[in-house]
Structure 1
Amino acid sequence: FHENHPQYDTHHVKLLDESEAYVPNFIGGSLPRRDAGNCEQYCMTMLTLFKPWRTGQDLRPSQDVLWDDVFNGHSFTERQLEVMKFFHIKYECNDARDDYSAARKKGGKTGPSPFNMDNATLDDLDTQYYNDDGELNISEIEEMVLRTNDWTELSNAEISRRTQMLQAEQIIQASGWLDPMKEKNTSELPSRFNSKEDMSSADWKNVL
């Protein structure tokens, strides 16, 4: 900081060795894509990450100016442009995964899996990470399901769920919990129990 900055005496920038560096892990929503979706949102996000600012007006002077114009007018460093490119690698991997999965399900010749995984593992990954890049909302998922014609083939996740339900049902049946109640056969006990022996609570405890 400059001498007139309030944190000049207490804060400083330190260049860490590569062995001590950390890789940031973004939490929350996914970063917007540069090649799809809302371009304004992408430009705003990248400017927020890489352009120095204290208030929103430092990022965009007025609401009449498009984020895209500010983005194109800002001079990013080569390192910042490189990091933006790295942001996009995740989506390129997702696209390649989805293309391979779609071709595999259609029975096309895709060759060996680039991930060295069997079909069952790839199905599980498709189910787990299909919405990984945040492109589908609830209405889009419902529409996609309605367009699906194959209602007979069960996914591995559904097969596993039904197998667990069947195992639980078999355990309950074997335990007799679902058997019809037999004829009531209970011995009647007196409402009050009178012991013929007079012992202290400690003696009774020892007996029990």
Structure 2
Amino acid sequence: MNTSDFTYSSESAASAEKNANRKGRPHNEPFPFQQQHPQATTHLMMKYSQLHVPILYGPQIPRQDRDDTRERYCRALLTLFVSWRSVTNLCDTNQTWKDAFSV
């Protein structure tokens, strides 16, 4: 992230009211990473004004109806759809992924 990114980030919040009467699609809203994040100085997160559908690459999500893949299924859905910063936000150390998913 360079000085123009910081300028863009600070100006976008200040200019939100000024652009209230602006026509067209709203601007994408930038958010910085937390300072302890390894990419905090080089990257920004963007909240897009138009909805996007994510396309997942990699192995498919395991089946939920099979006992041998139930734990992996619960872990995959929790990591995709629940906000978290560390694994303990999703599942305690004395808890199974299935139990955490049920809560």
User: What TM-score, normalized by structure 2, do the two folds share?
Assistant: 0.49
Structure possessing the higher radius of gyration over alpha carbons? 1
- Structure 1 or 2: larger helix share? 1
